[in-house]
């Protein structure tokens, strides 16, 4: 069995979440979907909190959260101690989210028209290793802001 990934969404990103989950499964990941699959309104802060707490308590490679824009759910995720959630707008940003910031979550918006394909952004994130070095010092400073 492959690495475990957590994915969560609100009502604004059902189709996008399903596309990403299917893509991850095709790459051999075990995907735990804790998002919603209906258009009934839910609050993205609740979804983010649940996803992040499950992630932190389990053995997951990374998490993905989605809402209408990706903005609200990423802000909410970043309020949970131990989470570094990036909101990449293109492949370069998805790469840098891992390489320089060692993000453990990425976020996307189901109502956003991206210039780069979201699945290619996901792949860039997955395929990139954290560079460490001076970036590790910076990540430690970021995490120190939570204290």
3-class SS string, 79-105: CCCCCCEECCCCHHHHHHHHHCCCCCE
> What Rg do the C-alpha atoms of the chain give, in angstroms?
14
pLDDT of residue 146: 83
* pLDDT tens sequence across 98-119: 999 999 999 999 999 999 999 9
The total number of structural domains in the chain stands at: 1
Neighbouring CB atoms inside 10 A of 146's CB total: 11
pLDDT of residue 10 exceeding 50, the answer is yes
* pLDDT tens sequence across 60-91: 999 999 999 999 999 999 999 999 999 999 99
Task: Please tell me the chain's helix, strand, coil percentages from 3-state DSSP, rounded to the nearest 5.
Answer: 45, 15, 40
pLDDT of residue 59: 94
pLDDT of residue 35 exceeding 50, the answer is yes
pLDDT band at 1 (very low <50, low <70, confident <90, very high): very low
CATH of the domain at 116: 3.40.1400.10
- Residues tagged active-site: 100
Q: Which two tokens stand for residue 138?
A: 């910076």
Domain containing 139: what range? 4-144
């Amino acid at each position: 069995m492959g690495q475990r990934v957590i994915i969560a969404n609100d009502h604004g990103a059902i189709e996008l979440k399903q596309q990403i989950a299917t893509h991850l499964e095709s790459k051999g990941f075990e995907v735990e979907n804790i998002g919603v699959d209906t258009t009934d309104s839910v609050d993205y802060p609740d979804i983010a909190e649940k996803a992040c707490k499950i992630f932190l308590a389990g053995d997951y490679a990374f998490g993905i959260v989605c809402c209408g824009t990706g903005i609200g759910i990423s802000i909410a995720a970043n309020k949970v101690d131990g989470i570094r959630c990036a909101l990449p707008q293109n492949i370069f940003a998805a790469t840098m989210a891992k390489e320089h910031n060692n993000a453990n979550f990425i976020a996307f918006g189901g109502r956003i028209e991206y210039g780069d394909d979201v699945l290619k952004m996901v792949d860039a994130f997955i395929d990139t290793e954290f560079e460490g070095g001076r970036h590790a010092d910076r990540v430690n400073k970021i995490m120190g802001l939570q204290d």
